[in-house]
Amino acid sequence: MLEAIRSTVSILSYFVLPSLLVGFPLYGLIKGVPVYEVFVDGAKEGFDVAVTIIPYLIAILFAIGMFRASGAMDFLVNALDPVLSLIGVPAEVVPMGIVRPLTGSGSAGIVADMINQYGEDSLVVKMAATMFGSTETTFYVIAVYFGAVNIRDTRHAVPAGLFADFVGFLASVYVVQLLFG
Amino acid sequence: MLNYIWSGLIIFSLVFALAVDTQELVENRFRNDSALPVAVEFPEGYAPDARRQPVTIQIDTSTYKQFFGVDDTPQSSYSGTLLQTQDGRQLQFSPEATLPEPLTTIQSFHASDENEALRGTLQSVPSIAAGTSQITTAVQFEPVHFRKLNAIAEAALNFAETAASLALGLIGILGLMLGLVKIGEEAGLVHALAEFVRPLLSPLFPNVPEGHPALANITLNLLANVFGLGNAATPLGIKAMEDLQELNPDDETASDDMVMLLALNTSSVQLVPPSLLVAIMGLQINQLIFSITLATLFSSIAGILGAYTLSRMPWFRVSAPHRNENTDPSAGNAFPPTHDS
């Protein structure tokens, strides 16, 4: 059963990017959108996005880099491992779980750092990437959305958002283990 | 919050580095002031005038263990080079040698771009006759101290550089993804699906009257999230929030519906991965989209249940802007209120 799921996923996965690459322009064409011009217009933003995230990446990467170089990261991983292994969570993904609700660009930096550290194919990188893709930056969303309408008392927004993030964190770990483990 | 975590990382790195460095100094783990006894063999016989000559270095296992107080054992012999200058004789291990701890650490601490080899000064041997095949001596390595302090400074500089080059390397794929997604946005992908999704969402927002535009904007916002249209999602979400604020009797307190919208936003199901992740992961994203979609399914359910359950808690119930309307049973609310006395 599990083998069947895994092999289906690995076959289907060849179609993901190609269908995105063709699907969007085809759909646009059907809807009468000037696809080439719109694409170029959208692609221009690539540069802006890349430049905008630089300060966030610097801030997170240098702090994580120092933390790793001091040996504190290994210490933390070793200390947390016995506890976390009870629930099947590798300690290496904990920094991602903590940073993800706080900063989007910063957690992208953590994924990049983990690729350097553990290799692109490793399970922990897949888990971290799944976490990155599966939750939004909760505190940023709260600040933007409630700020726009001047809400001061956010009531249960933070606990509800963090609960969803936590479930997303655990789900990422287990789903990756199930599909690729 | 991020302020504390970020400064915590930096400060804790410094404290941890200092603690490790102090411990190493106190233990004198690298035997900074003593020389390690070694035997040096000259396969071609000692040449007194050669600036560099190949040698074989032998370290006695038990001497080594005792000297450094470790369990690691050296190999039976290492190839190396003897350098002779006016300042003295320097022994250099082959850069490819697999050294035991703590020699590896000493090597990496002093390694530079020009010279990666582990090197140390040979203790003065009065004079060696030409053609000698073996001498017994001791080698003094350069001292190692404040290793971690140096490492964190180096890491900070390296990673700052990495951050900028990493971000610039993402421009191409980011542009590709943002271009594609823009086509979906212009083609009205989100609007086409809104009709089907809206009825599913309506039970989650009990305080929105039927036919009110709030639900339409909520649907568009969440669908934009599903298709990874981040740029479109935020304005739609703010529009939806403004609609909900109109329905909210209390201007400064979030209504249950607003919290539900937030919870769905932070956990929304993803069918198209975020552009930034595609740029970082490259082709790997092909597989990851399956784990991402599944994980978001769970987190969305958790978001809905969390927002709903918490809104029923007495603590949050008392502050709910719609609480007075909800206590009226004739309102026919889908979710009967719990009374907190």
For an interface test with A, give the residue of B182, B189, B227, B241 to mutate (most A CBs within 10 A).
B182
Cβ atoms of A168 and B296 within 8 Å: the answer is yes
Is A120 a residue whose pLDDT tops 80?
Answer: yes
Asked if the C-beta of A164 comes within 8 angstroms of chain B's C-beta atoms, the answer is yes
Asked if the C-beta of A36 comes within 8 angstroms of chain B's C-beta atoms, the answer is no
> Per the structure block, which two tokens stand in for B221?
């916002």
The answer for B 162-191 residues in CB contact with A (under 8 A) is 162-164, 166-168, 170-189
Cβ atoms of B192 and A32 within 8 Å: the answer is no
Asked if the C-beta of A172 comes within 8 angstroms of chain B's C-beta atoms, the answer is yes
Position of tokens 């940023």? A140
- Using an 8 Å CB-CB cutoff, list chain B residues near A138: 266
Cβ atoms of B277 and A133 within 8 Å: the answer is yes
pTM of the predicted model as reported, rounded to 2 decimal places: 0.80
DSSP string, B123-151: PP-S---TT--EEEEEEEEPP--SHHHHH
Q: Highest mean pLDDT: which of A47-51, A153-157, A174-178, B52-56? A: A174-178
Q: Name the pLDDT band for B301 (thresholds 50, 70, 90).
A: very high
Task: Work out the average pLDDT over B40-57.
Answer: 86
ipTM: 0.89
Q: Name the pLDDT band for B10 (thresholds 50, 70, 90).
A: very high
Q: Name the more confident of A170 and B86.
A: A170
Rounded to an integer, what distance in angstroms lies between the CA atom of residue A111 and that of residue A132?
8
Is B293 a residue whose pLDDT tops 60?
Answer: yes
Across A15-19, A162-166, B87-91, B294-298, least confident range: B87-91
Position of tokens 């959305």? A145
Q: Residue B97 phi/psi, 5° resolution? A: -60, 140
Under an 8 A CB cutoff, do B288 and A20 touch? no
Peptide bond into B102 cis (omega under 30): yes
pLDDT number for residue A169: 94
Is A68 a residue whose pLDDT tops 50?
Answer: yes
CA distance A144 to chain B (A): 8
CA distance B193 to chain A (A): 13
> Which three-class secondary structure state does DSSP give residue B119?
strand
Q: How many CB pairs under 8 A join A and B?
A: 362
Minimal-distance CA residue of chain B relative to A33: B187
Task: For chain B, give every domain's residue range.
Answer: 31-144, 172-331
- E strand intervals along chain B: 36-41, 52-58, 78-85, 88-93, 119-122, 134-141
Q: Express each pLDDT in B197-244 by its tens digit.
A: 888 899 999 989 887 888 988 999 999 888 888 778 888 899 999 999
Q: Express each pLDDT in A92-110 by its tens digit.
A: 999 898 888 888 888 999 9
pLDDT number for residue B306: 93
pLDDT number for residue B329: 43
